[in-house]
């Protein structure tokens, strides 16, 4: 049941430590032309969501928006509570998680951003906003693509060139369906100092979140699937976030869980330098489900949630 708050505006709660800045290309993005918060914006939200909304609203542009950073930097709520609050704020119309292309030429990569609105908006408004953002990104993204320092407040919009097109659907990828002796035997072995970037990401998952602790054999078996992500232009931080975002309270089989996510959330393959055929739409933005992190076109989401998360199977 919603709890009323008589405060006329969002107020930033006290922080227990300085909030970190996200890496270039990632982090918070405020929607343009926001008015000051006033009564009615968040008064119908529960106390937890009001607190997190006030904290997020006070963060500067480009601030880290991952659950761990938010939980670490404010004193009242842990990771599970923050994750639930972000989901509720997405359903209420205050935010959307989005995967965007950042960079130019051979340096194009997928990054995750969180668009934040002080005022709640419906699905139609968000669809229109993200469609415009896909074709006319804000100047902050252009500056980041060029490697320039980006101020917290973006200047007036200016046209920027569109990056290379990305196919709407990623090619199918074959992943192992079960752990077998033959698979483990054929997987490359590693010693200290010679592990591949993909193996290193998998090996560090358990240190990022203990629910996804993998053995050396697990990492070797999943290495090729993880390497395919890196071959498609994402970096180690992006891959780690995709594998650890929105985890359930417990993971019975870390190997099976990671294997499934490596397959289901595989990003699109970046195209060759050949120009796209006339009429081919440029795909440079995908919405990310606030609950499970699955990517897709904006029109496939309602309230920031994919269909499986909106309509879970009955127990």
Residue 4 has pLDDT above 50, yes or no: no
For the beta carbon of residue 68, count every other beta carbon within 10 angstroms.
Answer: 17
The contacts found for 166-172 with CB under 8 angstroms, 24 or more apart, are: 166/101, 166/268, 166/270, 166/271, 166/282, 166/283, 166/284, 167/268, 167/269, 167/271, 167/283, 168/268, 168/281, 168/283, 168/297, 169/268, 170/232, 170/266, 170/267, 170/268, 170/269, 171/269
What is the β-pairing status of strands 95-102 and 109-116? antiparallel
Instruction: Give residue 13's pLDDT band: very low, low, confident or very high (50, 70, 90).
Output: low
Same domain assignment for residues 218 and 142: no
- Judge whether 58 lies within some domain: yes
- Judge whether 20 lies within some domain: no
- Judge whether 47 lies within some domain: yes
Same domain assignment for residues 159 and 199: no
What is the β-pairing status of strands 295-296 and 109-116? unpaired
Radius of gyration of the chain (CA): 20
Same domain assignment for residues 200 and 72: no
Instruction: Give residue 302's pLDDT band: very low, low, confident or very high (50, 70, 90).
Output: confident
Same domain assignment for residues 41 and 94: yes
- Judge whether 5 lies within some domain: no
Range of the domain at 188: 181-264
Measured CA to CA, the distance from residue 263 to residue 172 in angstroms comes to 9
- Judge whether 21 lies within some domain: no
Residue 77 has pLDDT above 80, yes or no: yes
Same domain assignment for residues 128 and 219: no
Question: What confidence tens digit (pLDDT) does each residue in 152-186 have?
Answer: 443 334 444 444 454 444 444 434 444 433 443 44
Specify which of 5-14, 173-182, 243-252 reaches the highest per-range mean pLDDT: 243-252
- Judge whether 276 lies within some domain: no
pLDDT at 268: 79
Query: 3-state DSSP helix/strand/coil percent for the chain, to nearest 5?
Result: 40, 10, 50
Mean pLDDT of 223-242: 88
Closest CA to 226 of 173, 262, 193, 268: 262
Beta strands across the sheet bearing 27-30:
27-30, 109-116, 95-102, 285-288, 295-296
Residue 288 has pLDDT above 80, yes or no: yes
CB 271 within 8 A of CB 232: no
Same domain assignment for residues 122 and 43: yes
Same domain assignment for residues 153 and 224: no
Same domain assignment for residues 185 and 162: no
Same domain assignment for residues 220 and 94: no
- Judge whether 273 lies within some domain: no
Cα 74 to its chain centre, rounded Å, is 20
Measured CA to CA, the distance from residue 143 to residue 255 in angstroms comes to 39
Whole-prediction pTM value?
A: 0.57
Mean pLDDT of 54-71: 92
pLDDT at 234: 83
Rounded (10°) angle between helices 197-208 and 254-264:
120
- Judge whether 1 lies within some domain: no
Q: For a pLDDT cut of 70, what percent of the chain falls above it?
A: 66
């Amino acid at each position: 049941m919603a709890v009323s708050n008589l405060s006329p505006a969002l107020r930033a709660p006290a922080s227990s430590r300085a909030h970190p800045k996200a890496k270039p290309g990632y982090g918070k993005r405020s929607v343009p032309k926001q008015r000051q918060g006033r009564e009615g914006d968040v008064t119908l939200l529960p106390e937890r969501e009001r607190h997190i909304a006030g904290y997020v609203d006070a963060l500067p542009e480009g601030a880290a928006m991952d659950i761990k950073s938010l939980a670490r930097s404010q004193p009242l709520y842990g990771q599970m509570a923050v994750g639930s609050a972000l989901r509720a704020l997405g359903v209420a119309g205050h935010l959307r998680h989005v995967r965007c292309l950042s960079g130019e030429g051979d340096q194009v990569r997928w990054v995750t951003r969180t668009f934040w609105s002080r005022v709640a908006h419906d699905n139609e408004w968000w669809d229109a906003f993200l469609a415009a953002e896909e074709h006319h990104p804000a100047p902050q993204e252009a500056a980041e693509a060029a490697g320039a320092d980006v101020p917290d407040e973006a200047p007036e919009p200016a046209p920027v060139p569109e990056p290379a097109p990305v196919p709407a659907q990623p090619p199918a990828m074959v992943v192992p369906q079960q752990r077998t002796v033959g698979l483990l035997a054929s997987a490359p072995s590693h010693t200290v100092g010679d592990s591949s970037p993909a193996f290193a990401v998998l090996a560090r998952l358990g240190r990022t979140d203990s629910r996804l602790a993998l053995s050396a054999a697990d990492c070797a078996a999943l290495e090729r699937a993880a390497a395919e992500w890196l071959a498609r232009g994402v970096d180690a931080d992006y891959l780690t976030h995709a594998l650890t975002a929105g985890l359930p309270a417990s993971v019975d089989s870390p190997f099976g869980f990671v294997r499934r996510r490596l397959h289901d959330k595989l990003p699109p393959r970046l195209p060759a330098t050949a120009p796209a055929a006339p009429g081919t739409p440029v795909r440079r933005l995908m919405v990310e489900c606030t609950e499970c992190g699955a990517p897709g076109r904006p029109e496939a989401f309602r309230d920031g949630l994919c269909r499986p998360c909106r309509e879970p199977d009955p127990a």
